Amino acid sequence: MSSPPSSGRPPRRAASVRAASYDESLVDNALEAYLGNSPSRRIRRLRRLSPEERQRETETEALIALSLGFPIDELLPAEEAVLAAPDAAAPNDYIVVRNHILASWRADPRVPLPRARVLETVAATYDHLVAAAHGFLTREGHVNFGVSPAFPASPPPDAPEGPAASVLVIGAGLAGLAAARQLLRFGLRVLVLEGRARPGGRVYTARLGDGQAAVELGGSVITGIHANPLGVLARQLGIPLHKVRDRCPLYYPDGRTVGTRLDRVIDLVFNTLLDHATKLREALKEAAEGISLGEGIERLRRLYSVAKTEEEREVLDWHLANLEFSNAGCLSELSLAHWDQDDQFEMGGDHCFLAGGNSRLVHALCDGVPVLYEKTVKRIEHGVDGVSVTVEGGQVFQADMALCTVPLGVLKSGSIQFEPELPQRKLGAIQRLGFGLLNKVAMVFPSVFWDEDIDTFGCLNKDSSKRGEFFLFYSYHTVSGGPVLIALVAGEAALDFEKVDPVVTLHRVLAILRGIYGPKGVTVPDPIQSACTRWGSDPFCCGSYSHIRVGSSGTDYDILAESVSDDHLFFAGEATNRAYPATMHGALLSGLREAARIFRASQSRVNSDPKKYALQRSPRPTDGILEDLFAEPDLEFGRFSFVSSSMTPDDPQSLGLLRITLWKDLLLGPVGDQKDQEPAAEKAANQEAFHLYATIFRQQADQLQLAGDDDQARLGLLCKDLCVKLMGYDNTCDVGNSLILSIVSTQKARKRLQSAKKFRS
């Protein structure tokens, strides 16, 4: 049967394997086989290694470094700058040390790998190389990053105090959050501006079926688990991964299964056509720059006279739709010369689903990061004196530097005005690169009626122009918490999809499913709930992900990643990552890359003018602001009060601040509302009362309110089940200052809106 697709390139046929959940501990076990399972054991073992064993270990560590994108026997260009001239000229010892550090941390990324521990395992002769390699790898985000409790979004306790530059991060997707979190660890002052009312950007896990099922409406599959930073985050959080199983049966619209022989023959034809397309561009050389991949494949198909029958053409069309899905673009737009330029960097290993949805990674990245939601950026002024960002409504934010992580589609739309205008070199790259579309129909059913032993199945289409319409179905019942099917729409069909009423769309999908399963005697029920995406119409992305269009090349990804205004305005996102475009891990890696660049730029500026940057790292709100904040709470029940940072306080995804009133004996006080007490009693109670705070979503606040009238039970639900950390006044002001200021701004805006309505009435 056909191999499942990915958001990279469609893979060659994989050998059949037994269906099983991917077990990340297998990697741990393999690494421990040569590292040992504790630091002390490793130290003892290194000291006893024979020359042959040491050589084998060095080779193994080199392979791990290679999987992480490092060359086995040479330096990265950025590494040369951190080495003294003699070491850079003869870098073999440094490379061995660097590979050793990479392998050591990947053995257990849940805890930091301090330089002192590395020094214990390396001969003293190489202490200077350890210092250079460890510093470089930490700064560049190759080690000691992530979301475990050991890596909070704040500087380590032993970090030296000093002046810090300020950074505005535009966009709370994977790139923006990864960069912000890393910059906070570096000690910079950071604020994230997000136009949506939620984090994640194009990674969006919706809760359907009464909130029971986690449904991926955006980025969904972790493509290649080996060396993938998303796999590191999953390991740190202890989240299980499910291997996307290889078997993917194809069905005709009438329910017949595509025969094994025909499936294998056309699979071979498809891959052979791609191989010949590679040879064609090599023969054409520069002439290939103006030819699309679709045109090249069709010429080759006719030349070799393959896929001539109707059935053969339908199966080939399915593979071509799969290719369009992988690139979020029509084959008629993809560049024959460069469409697969990133293949050499593709991460190995299984493709996986994350149990419970990718939003678990997003929310972990958000923890401790100050984000202001519903701040749609309209204008970015940049220059040698810093940056000024204006959001919708006229509010202005200023900082020393800014990181723009908006999708390529937003840059193409021109909805953000840059002053001065971006360099022509960058504008050209924005125009040349393609930004395509992939849409989904997600359905939660009463029960699983399809084959539970598969994760994907495909459906053919007689109309070549509609080959991408519901051509592939993903089954998420193993990881979503409910019977979930997602139908994909790619290529030209994805463009037409957004013009059709969602009700009509759902009926079409159900007709296809009933055509497949009806002849098998299986009843396809109506879904409990469904959702249709419209990524092309979404003003915060204007599409799905990037590809190399005719006339473009991989160089345009590099140009898009270049900073402007003498390193005051930086850019990140999947479309700035030449090695891993169109992937979730590509976005995250670009954020870590830019965090390192911004940190280097900030260090240069702070060292040149320390007085200018000698500002308090976390400006605290004025005294008494929390009392004013809760004067008119959005939600109040028992001893709990909640205020939202959103203009629509009922939005379940809106972030806010919860206040809990306790007494000094840590009991929840007398039964009944404080407001019912006599003034004298109320005053006495207030003198004995104190408040604890927590940042939670409105949805969680609603859960607490519906949990009953017992405030002690509510407190247990909050701390034990929801795992929310409570804070005192000082910590709340320090950690949540950006959220507090956002709530203040929102409350003022609501009052202005109410005054305007009263005036008009």
- DSSP bridge partners of 549: 334
Question: What tens digit of pLDDT does each residue of 148-207 get?
Answer: 989 999 887 767 777 789 999 999 999 999 999 999 999 999 999 999 999 999 999 999
Q: What is the largest CA-CA distance in the chain?
A: 95
pLDDT tens digits, residue range 201-220? 999 999 999 888 999 999 99
| Per-chain mean pLDDT for the chain | 87
372's enclosing H/E stretch is strand 371-372
Q: What is the pLDDT of residue 619?
A: 41
Give the number of other CB atoms < 10 A from CB of residue 406.
Answer: 26
DSSP 707: T
SS3 533: coil
The model's pLDDT over 316-361, given as tens digits with 9 standing for 90+, comes to 999 999 999 999 899 999 999 999 999 999 998 999 999 999 999 9
Q: Is there a cis peptide before residue 420, judged by omega within 30 degrees of 0?
A: yes
Tell me the per-residue pLDDT of 293-303, one tens digit each, with 9 for 90 and over: 999 999 999 99
pLDDT digits (tens, 9 = 90+) for 253-285: 999 999 999 999 999 999 999 999 999 999 999
> Residues of the chain with pLDDT > 70: what percent?
86
CA distances, 93 to each of 68, 99, 130 (Å): 19, 10, 10
pTM of this structure: 0.78
pLDDT at 1 over 70: no
Task: Read off the pLDDT of residues 476-533 as tens digits, 9 standing for 90 and up.
Answer: 999 999 999 999 999 999 999 999 999 999 999 999 999 999 999 999 999 999 999 9
Helices (H), 535-644: 555-561, 584-608, 625-629
Give the per-residue pLDDT at 730: 77
Per-residue model confidence as pLDDT tens digits over 88-141: 999 999 999 999 999 999 999 999 999 999 998 899 999 999 999 999 999 999
Q: What is the pLDDT of residue 721?
A: 84
How many C-beta neighbours within 10 Å does residue 232 have?
A: 22
pLDDT for res 13: 35
CA distance linking residue 660 with residue 664, whole number of Å: 13
399 membership: H or E segment, kind and range: strand 396-399
Give 586-634 pLDDT, tens digit per residue: 999 999 999 999 999 998 887 777 666 654 444 444 557 788 889 899 9
**Segment 439-446 mean pLDDT:** 97
pLDDT at 665: 52
